[in-house]
Structure 1
Amino acid sequence: MKMSKLFVQTLREFPSDAEVVSHKMLARAGYIRKLTSGVYNYLPLMWRVLKKVENIVREEMDAAGAQELLMPFVQPKELWEESGRWEAYGRELMRLKDRHDRVMCLGPTHEEIITAIARDGLKSYKQMPVNLYQIQSKFRDEVRPRYGLLRGREFIMKDAYSFDTSEEGLDKEYLNMAEAYKRIFDRCGLETKMVQSDSGAIGGSVSHEFMVITDTDAGENDVFYCECGYAANSNHAVSKLPETVVDGKDYFKETKIIDTPETHSIEELSTFLNIPSTLILKSLVYIVDKKPVMALIRADKTVEETKLMNAVGGIDIRIASAAEIAELMADHGFDAVPGFIGPTGMKDIPVIADETVKDMKNFVVGINKTDKHLVGANLCDLNIEEIRYSDIRLVEAGEFCPECGKPLKVTKGIEVGNIFKLGTKYSKPMNALYLDKNGKSHPYIMGCYGIGISRTAAAAVEAHHDEYGIKWPISIAPYHVVIVPVNIQDKLQMEVAEKMYEDLKKAGVEVVLDDRDERAGVKFKDADLIGFPYRVTVGKTINEGLVEYKIRETGEVEKVTPETAVEHLVEIVKNIK
């Protein structure tokens, strides 16, 4: 490809709305252009990258025994009602009607359709196990699309679904997919961690995410890990806590209500009473599926909202507003403001306490009276109608690994893939059955396995860049090499550049010849910004029979003959995994 013909327009500046490196780089380098909120045009360079990621995914999925198909983007409401997800999925599901008023949705995921396909085609145990996958655009109506391709509304995804007759068969396929994923991300030049995770709207009993570890702002999830191999994201991580003071017997000799004026925060209350925050029981009100829930946790710890939502079986969660808390207090005959609320007298509202609360004794807690707290309290003093215990605590770095007891470390990660053990979550309600060898019917045992194609490409930019631009791994780079003649008016430079260009093309190397009548500095800047893995510069040294050969990833530069440069590049491309 000649640069003069390549459809690419680089920008002088990063877009003003770009927050993370991949969004900034891909937009400025001419890979993507925003169409509307969370929706992007993939321009030719980007499309080449995406097709390469797709091909790697396709090769490894096929090698792992999966079969490719393609399902519709638009899905009928009826299938989602069968699974029970039509209402449960929430507002991220883009709903619409056709001209006949038939209600549809744009597919954010395809569990319902694939289960219907299997229901029609997998009738006998002899037909299983089977794994079916597709690579297709998805749409999720994100409330706050951000980070470019990392959290858009429309995106490209590989989603696979396995069907087995037993849990043992599912376990085997789950491991098969995990190994395939490791190979896929390795070939894409990404170092990933497989971490335990929450199943979210997909559902199922077990799930893992594949996270690209990054120190950039795009790291949206905390990953807690240990040298023993334990790893989990923040909404699934558990830990052992170091010993600390959770009995206030040395501070409070009796249980009583005391005045605590203007102590609206834990810090203010702790200072006022001169006690550690470990002796304060924090009471928080959340709205889960539009209904109030009270969470109780030791005040030095933080509620992990996904854990709390799962504890009550919800699908949507947010912290209650001051107005909602005031209304809740009024409904129960109280007038407390945030900072003074507690579980006492809270009838007809779920009260979920973190496991750490069990060990607390003689603590301080809000009593639903402004400027007052109950001190020296125990759970039996609080008149709680019903309390449920669950791990709703956000793990912190330095707490102890649940498997080996060593301190946990924390880092940031970008999710690029996930795998789920669905079991019968979809097959049972959708009556998707097979007959065993005795003629008895059973629901399929299912798994599902997703990879974000566009997300993987963006994550590669987050992992491989510098201040000058992208450093694509050669396996997914739009082109392998750019040849830059410094002066296109120089006959010798152009002859050598064009010969190398033709020789590389014939050898199967994807090459761009920058034949533009531009200053060398402009060409070099564009080459670095676009991220060609290799650059060959044909300049004045060609009079000595030499060209400049540069490796983008390392910045290493070497003077070699044109023939040597071609040989190196051909060999490198032959060895791409």
Structure 2
Amino acid sequence: MRLSKLIGKRVKEAPKDAQSASHIFLMRGGYIRPLSTGIFTLLPLAARMTAKIENIIREEMNAVESQEILMPLVNPADIWHESGRYDSVDQSLLRFKDRNQKDMVLAMTHEEAVCHMARTEITSYKQLPTSVFQIQTKYRDEARARAGLIRVREFTMKDAYSFHETEECLSSYYNEVHKAYERIFQRLGLTDCVSIEADSGMIGGSLSHEFMAVTEIGEDTIFLSPDRQYKANREVATSKITYKSEAALELEKVHTPTQKTIEEVSLFLEVAESDTAKAVFYSSASIEDKVILCVIRGDIEVNETKLGNHLGCGDLVTANDEAIIAAGAVPGFASPKGLNKDNVIIIADPSAVESSNLVVGANEEAHHYKNFNWERDFDGDADIIDIATVREGEPCPITGEPLEMLNGIEVGNIFQLGTKYSDSMGVRYLDKNGKSQIPTMGCYGIGVGRALASVCEQRNDKWGPVWPISIAPYQVHLIALTGGQAPIKEEAEELYKKLQKEGIEVIFDDRSPKPGFAFNDADLIGVPLRLIISKKSLEQDAYEFKTRDGSEKELIPKADVFDFIVNRVKTEMEKFV
């Protein structure tokens, strides 16, 4: 490709709304252009890169015997009603009516569509296990589109679905796909990508892993032990925190005239926040006529994902004062003592149960208790489970070493779905005895554009992206600094054509630019290998070779340059096979 003909201008200024390196450099380098909020046109450079990413994904999915299909973006609402997600998914699912007034949706994921396909195509145990995948456009009416391709509304995704006779078979294939994902992200050139245990969220299922590209711009919080034996998303992370244990002192009611918050109470009574317990009330439309009371140590926050998973509801909201009063508690002075237990569900975190002599509310205006001990002072029923939000520096549950808190971009996820969709969607197969059975399922996703942006987040400098050769738009950037001299351009033209004939992907700066202008553009484009022909180099009968990352720079004799660059491209590509 001649740079003079390339669609996609390089620009000096970063977009005003840019929040990440990838957003800045993909815009400045002429890779993407916005059509609307969270909706982008991929210009030729980005289109070439996404095609390479997709090819790597295809190769690895083919290697685990998944068959490629293509399902429609537009789905009838009927199949989403069958799964129950038409009503349960929020406004991110774009619903509309076609010209016949039939309810339709733009699919953000394809569990419903693949189950619809499986009802007619997967009918016998002899076909199992089996797996299908697609690389398809999806649409999520994202409320918080941001950071260029990292969080968008329209996106391309690889999603795969597998069907199995048993959970053991599903688990085995799940592990195969997990290894395939590790290969994919290594081949894409992500420098730090970790697989972490995660919450299954809207998709559901019994087990889930997210693949996180570690970078400061990431919206997800992850916890890692120093040796990375332990890796978990904030939503499911646990720690090995220890609690104060001492002889129980006598329960004492104290006057706290206007002190309601943990901070106010601890300051007033001159105790540490870790020597208090707080009562946090929630309500849920799926749990009628009951309020949920969470009791947790005062310095620790409730992890609402853990709580929602335990209760089987995803619509938790903070309870209002009316609901708290109806439970027999006094807002601001609440505790698990003396509640109307007919309409309250009590969940206690081990931090409140195992700590001794805590300050808690007295369920009486302007009063708290000192020296509350769960085993002695609580006389009701409660579920004792971990609902704590882990904090940086807390001890790893495996090694005991301080946990490191990092940010990550979710570039892929895998789920063991079980029969959540196959059952509700009526997918059935006949077993060897001729009996109808429900297949168990797995699903496996990778965001293509997000993967591209994540590589840019991890591989850049102040001048632009530093692409790995495996997905770079071109392998070699050839620059002719002609200074107006025709022989120099002729030399470059000859090498350009020769390299193309050899199958080397070359972008050729044929514009006769000034050096600074040419090098600035080359940095913004980010091609990993660079050849420069100029009057100065030809005086030494050589070409100048540079790597985009600046680690190498040398003169290559003109007679050797073709073989040198061909072999170098081959060597670099082999690193990503």
Map 1:334-413; keep pairs closer than 5 Å. 336=331, 339-343=332-336, 344-345=338-339, 348-369=343-364, 371-379=366-374, 387-413=382-408
Which letter maps to 2:515? A
Query: Which of 515, 523, 526 lines up with 1:528 in the alignment?
Result: 523
Question: Does structure 1 residue 229 correspond to structure 2 residue 229?
Answer: yes
Q: Does 1:203 align with 2:201?
A: no
| Residue 558 of structure 1, CA deviation | 1.1
Query: In 2, distance between residues paired with 1:234 and 1:547?
Result: 52
1:438-485, Cα deviation, whole Å (9 max, x unpaired):
111110011111111111101000110011100011111111121111
Q: Which amino acid aligns with 1:284?
A: V
Instruction: Say whether 1:451 aligns with 2:450.
Output: no
Shift of 1:334: 6.5
Tell me the CA shift for residue 247 of structure 1. Answer: 5.2
Structure 1 residue 272 corresponds to structure 2 residue 268: yes
Please list the CA deviations of residues 404-433 of structure 1 after superposition, one character each: whole Å capped at 9, or x if unmatched: 444433332221111111111111122211
Is 2:78 aligned against 1:82?
no
CA deviation vs aligned residue, 1:312-361 (integer Å, no higher than 9, x gap): 2122445x3xxx6334345557763xx54444536634332223222134
Residue 254 of structure 1 pairs with residue 251 of structure 2: yes
Q: Which amino acid aligns with 1:476?
A: I
Q: What is the rounded CA distance, in whole Å, between the counterparts of 2:282 and 2:45 in structure 1?
A: 45
Contact 2:149 2:449 in 1 (8 A): yes
Contact 2:109 2:138 survives alignment (8 Å): yes
526, 532, 556: which one pairs with 2:552? 556
CA–CA separation in structure 1 for the residues paired with 2:277 and 2:81: 42
**Closer, same or farther: CA 7–436 of 1 in aligned 2, 3 Å:** same
Q: Is the 8 A contact 1:419 1:449 kept in 2?
A: yes
Q: Counterparts of 1:381 and 1:401 in 2: how far apart (Å)?
A: 30
User: Alignment length, in residue pairs?
Assistant: 566
Code of the aligned partner of 1:115: C
Further displaced range: 162-171 or 324-333 = 324-333
Q: Which residue of 1 aligns with 2:97?
A: 97
Partner in structure 2 of residue 132 of structure 1:
132
> Does the Cα contact within 8 Å between 1:165 and 1:444 map onto a contact in 2?
yes
Aligned-residue Cα RMSD (Å) equals: 2.3
Unaligned runs of 5+ in 1: none
Residue 310 (structure 1) aligns with: 309
| Cα pair distance change 1:534/1:228, threshold 3 Å | closer
Letter in 1 for 2:312: G
Give the Cα separation in 2 of the matches to 1:429 and 1:376.
51
Distance 1:289-1:478 versus aligned 2 partners, 3 A rule: farther
Aligned CA distance change for structure 1 residues 350 and 34 (closer, same or farther; 3 Å): farther
CA distance in 2 between partners of 1:159 and 1:132 (Å): 9
Report the TM-score when normalising by structure 2: 0.92
User: Alpha carbons of 1:534 and 1:220: their partners in 2 closer, same or farther (altered >3 Å)?
Assistant: same
Q: Take 1:39 and 1:222, find their aligned partners in 2: how far apart are those partners?
A: 28
Which position in structure 2 is the counterpart of 1:466?
Answer: 461
Letter in 2 for 1:31: Y
Distance in 2 separating the partners of 1:278 and 1:545: 74
Matches within 5 A, 1:183-222: 183-190=183-190, 191-214=192-215, 216-218=216-218, 220-222=220-222
Match of 1:438, SS state, is coil
Query: Structure 1 length normalisation: TM-score?
Result: 0.92
Distance 1:220 1:416 in 2: 11
- Match of residue 489 from structure 2: 494
Change (3 A) 1:39 1:239: same
Q: Deviations over 1:157-186 (max 9, x none)?
A: 100001111112111111110111111111
Q: Which residue in the other structure is 2:178 paired with? A: 178
1:562, 1:264 → 2: CA distance? 79
CA distance in 2, matches of 1:16, 1:526: 21
